[in-house]
Amino acid sequence: MKLHRNCLAALAASLSLVGLSSAALAQTVLKAADVHPQGYPTVVAVEDMGKKLEAATNGRIKLQMFPGSVLGGEKEMIEQTQVGAIQILRTSLGPVGPVVPEVNVFNMPFVFRDPKHMRAVIDGPIGQELLDKISASPAKLIGLAWMDGGSRSLYTKKPVRKPEDLKGQKIRMMGNPLFVDTMNAMGGNGISMGYGEVFTALQTNVIDGAENNPPSLYTANHFKAGAKYYTQTNHLIIPEILVMSKVAWDKLSPADQALVKKLAREAQLEQRALWDKAVADYTAKLKAEGVEFIEIDNKPFYESTAAVRAKYGAQYADLMKRIADVK
Q: Which is nearer to ligand GTR, 208 or 240 (CB)?
A: 240
With binding defined as CB under 6 A, does residue 298 bind ligand GTR?
no
**In the complex, what is the shortest distance from the CB of residue 42 to ligand GTR, in angstroms, rounded to a whole number?**
7
**In the complex, what is the shortest distance from the CB of residue 37 to ligand GTR, in angstroms, rounded to a whole number?**
11
- DSSP letter string, 63-76: EEEE-TTTT--HHH
Closest Cα partner for 267 from 92, 28, 42? 42
Among 35, 77, 237, 267, binds ligand GTR (CB under 6 A): 35
Under 8 Å between Cβ of 186 and 270: no
Closest Cα partner for 98 from 199, 180, 211, 188? 180
Q: Which is nearer to ligand GTR, 222 or 252 (CB)?
A: 222
Among 69, 81, 87, 91, binds ligand GTR (CB under 6 A): 91
C-alpha 259/C-alpha 249 separation (Å) is 12
Q: Which is nearer to ligand GTR, 195 or 312 (CB)?
A: 195
Binding letters toward ligand GTR, positions 129-168, x by CB under 6 A? --------------------x-------------------
With binding defined as CB under 6 A, does residue 213 bind ligand GTR?
yes
Among 176, 184, 212, 298, binds ligand GTR (CB under 6 A): 212
**In the complex, what is the shortest distance from the CB of residue 167 to ligand GTR, in angstroms, rounded to a whole number?**
23
What is the four-CA torsion angle of 294, 218, 46, 128, rounded to 10 degrees? 20
Closest Cα partner for 163 from 308, 304, 311, 296? 304
Scan residues 241-280 and list those touching ligand GTR (CB under 6 A). Answer: none
With binding defined as CB under 6 A, does residue 216 bind ligand GTR?
yes
With binding defined as CB under 6 A, does residue 240 bind ligand GTR?
yes
Closest Cα partner for 89 from 247, 273, 259? 247
Which ranges of 86-161 would DSSP assign to H, the alpha helix? 115-123, 125-136
With binding defined as CB under 6 A, does residue 80 bind ligand GTR?
no
Q: Which is nearer to ligand GTR, 149 or 252 (CB)?
A: 149
Closest Cα partner for 87 from 240, 251, 271? 251
With binding defined as CB under 6 A, does residue 74 bind ligand GTR?
yes
Among 118, 174, 237, 260, binds ligand GTR (CB under 6 A): 174
Question: 3-state class of 156 per DSSP?
Answer: strand
Under 8 Å between Cβ of 242 and 308: no
With binding defined as CB under 6 A, does residue 33 bind ligand GTR?
no
Q: Which is nearer to ligand GTR, 61 or 174 (CB)?
A: 174
Q: Which one of the spans 86-94, 179-187, 292-300, 313-321 is the region binding ligand GTR (CB under 6 A)?
A: 86-94
Closest Cα partner for 181 from 311, 300, 297, 92? 311
Q: Say how many residues touch ligand GTR, by CB under 6 A.
A: 12
Under 8 Å between Cβ of 1 and 224: no
Closest Cα partner for 243 from 210, 222, 219, 268? 268
Helix H, strand E, coil C: the string for 251-269 is CCCHHHHHHHHHHHHHHHH
Binding letters toward ligand GTR, positions 93-132, x by CB under 6 A? -x--------------------------------------
With binding defined as CB under 6 A, does residue 195 bind ligand GTR?
yes
Q: Looking at residue 169, what DSSP letter applies?
A: -
**In the complex, what is the shortest distance from the CB of residue 93 to ligand GTR, in angstroms, rounded to a whole number?**
9
The binding site for ligand GTR (CB under 6 A) comprises: 35, 74, 91-92, 94, 149, 174, 195, 212-213, 216, 240
